[in-house]
Structure 1
C-alpha cells in the first residue's frame, strides 16, 4: 500500500463513526476523552503512525476554548451526532490561530495542513458511491467495525488559498474542504464565522446533505513538519429559527 493510500485510510479511520485504532489512548488524549462537560461527549481520534495533536480546555484572550497544539502531528477531537438535515440551518463558530505555516495548503496533498478545521460528517445513499470509494470504505469498516461518513465537509483556515475556495480531496472525493480563513490576516485575534451548512454542502458536493452524524476539530502539521496552535470557541449548530441544537459545543 503506497503512502497516499495509507494517509487516506488513516483519515477515514479517524472520521469513522466509531473509529478508534487503539484500545487505550495515550495519556495526553485519554485525559481529553474523559473530560467533564462541555467535552464529555467528545473523544480523541488518533491516526495510525502519526504523532498526536494535543487538545485541552484553556482560556485565550479571556474566553474559554479548546486549545489545539500540533507539533508535526495530526489527530481529531470528535463527537457523534444524529441531526436530520431538515433541522440544520447554520453553524456558528469562533476560532483563534497563532499563525500559519507558509508552505501549508489544503489544495495539495503533500502540504495538506491547516491550523484550524471544523469537520462535519454526513450520512447518505451509499449505493451512489463509486467503486473506488466503496473499496476504501469497506476496508475502513473491516478495520473498525464502522463505515466512515458518506460525505465529509471541512471548513478550513488555509495559508494561501482564497476564501470560498472549494477543494476536493485528491485522496477521496468524499472529503471536500471550503476555505473560510486565509493567510495571516486575523491571526492572534478571535474570528467569528457563520455558514449555511446546506448551501455549503450543495456547493461542495452538488447534492443535498443527509443526516449530520459527526463533528470534529482538527489542527495538523504532519505533512509540512510544522507546528500550529489554535483555539476553538463554541461551535453552535442552529435550526432555521436560530435555536441552538443539541450536540453543539458550548463553552
Structure 2
C-alpha cells in the first residue's frame, strides 16, 4: 500500500500529546536515552494500515549511542513533538549514516517515494493560505480526532537520484518539500554531519515565513519500493544560533 510520510505524521500529531518535549529548543538527544520505549520525548510514528514497521533500536557505533533503523518493505518512524516559534533563524543539526540507497527509489515518483534516511519537520497549518476544500477537510478531521492537523513540512532526505541541494515537491503533496542533503551511494557507510537553517529552507521552499514548529521526526522506509534499507541516526539538535 502506498503511504507517504506526510500521512503518517498527520495521523500521529492528530492523535494527541503522549510525549511532549520540554519547553526548550532542543529535542531529546539519542545519546542520552535509556530506551526508545516509554515517555522519553520520542514516540513511534506508525500507521495502522501498514502492517510492516521499520525497526528502531539503540545501538553503540564508534563509542556513541545512536539509533539504528532497519526497513524491509516497511514504513514507520520516530517523532518528537515541539511547540516553537522559529523566529529569524533556527538550526537543525544531525549526523546520519546509510548502508545503501534504494535502486528503485525516485523522489519524483509516488512508487519511488522511499528513502534510506529522512528527517521530517512539520509546521502549523495556516488557514488563511489554504483553499476552501482544504479548510473543510481539516475541519472534518479535527472534529473526528479533536486535534488540528499540521500544515506544510520540510523533508530532508538522503536521496537516491535527486541531485544534492535540489528541492522538489513531494509526489503526493505540494505541502511537503523534499530537500536532498545527501544523494547517491558515494558516502554510504560513512557518518555525515548536516546542518540546516530551517527558516531559510522554508523561505526557499515555500516563498514565505514559516509558522510555528510542531514536530521533528526520523524515518527509514521502503514500503513503496519493497526494498530493504539500513541507516543510523546520531543526535538531532534543534537550537537557535
Under TM normalisation by the shorter chain, which class is it? 0.7 to 0.9
> 1:200 offset after TM fit, Å?
0.5
Report the Cα distance in structure 1 between the residues aligned to 2:86 and 2:213, rounded to whole angstroms: 7
Could you say if the C-alpha distance between residues 184 and 147 of structure 1 is closer, same or farther in structure 2, counting changes exceeding 3 Å?
same
Equivalences for residues 179-198 of structure 1 within 5 A = 179-198=180-199
Number of aligned residue pairs: give it: 223
TM-score, normalising length: structure 2: 0.83
The answer to whether the 8 Å contact 1:8/1:171 transfers is no
Tell me which residue corresponds to 2:47: 47
What corresponds to 1:104 in structure 2? 105
The counterpart of 1:34, out of the listed 12, 32, 38, is 38
Deviations 1:181-222 (A, max 9, x none): 100011101000111111101111111111111110011000
| Distance change >3 Å, CA 234–CA 8, structure 1 → 2 | closer
Q: Unaligned 5+ residue runs, structure 1?
A: 21-30, 241-251
RMSD: 2.3
* C-alpha distance in 1 between matches for 2:11 and 2:119: 14
Give the alignment partner of residue 16 of structure 1, picking from 13, 20, 25. Answer: 13
Distance 1:15 1:151, change over 3 A: farther
Question: 1:135-163: CA deviations, max 9, x gaps?
Answer: 55345434433222111111001111101
Q: Report whether the alignment pairs 1:235 with 2:236.
A: yes
Does residue 230 of structure 2 align to residue 226 of structure 1? no
**What residue number does 1:177 align with?**
178
Deviation, 1:123, is 1.4
- The alpha carbon displacement at 1:63 in A equals 2.5
Question: Residues 144 and 54 of structure 1: is their aligned pair in 2 closer, same or farther, counting only changes over 3 Å?
Answer: farther
Q: Which segments of 5 or more consecutive residues in structure 2 lack a partner in the other structure?
A: 18-34
Q: Relative to structure 2, which stretch is displaced further, 126-135 or 198-207? A: 126-135
For 1:28, the equivalent position in structure 2 comes to: none
* Counterpart mapping for 1:103-182 below 5 A: 103-182=104-183
Q: Which stretch shows the higher mean deviation, 134-143 or 49-58?
A: 134-143
The one-character-per-residue Cα deviations of 1:66-87 (angstroms, maximum 9, x if unpaired) are: 1111110111200110111117
8 Å contact from structure 1 (residues 10, 48) kept in 2: no
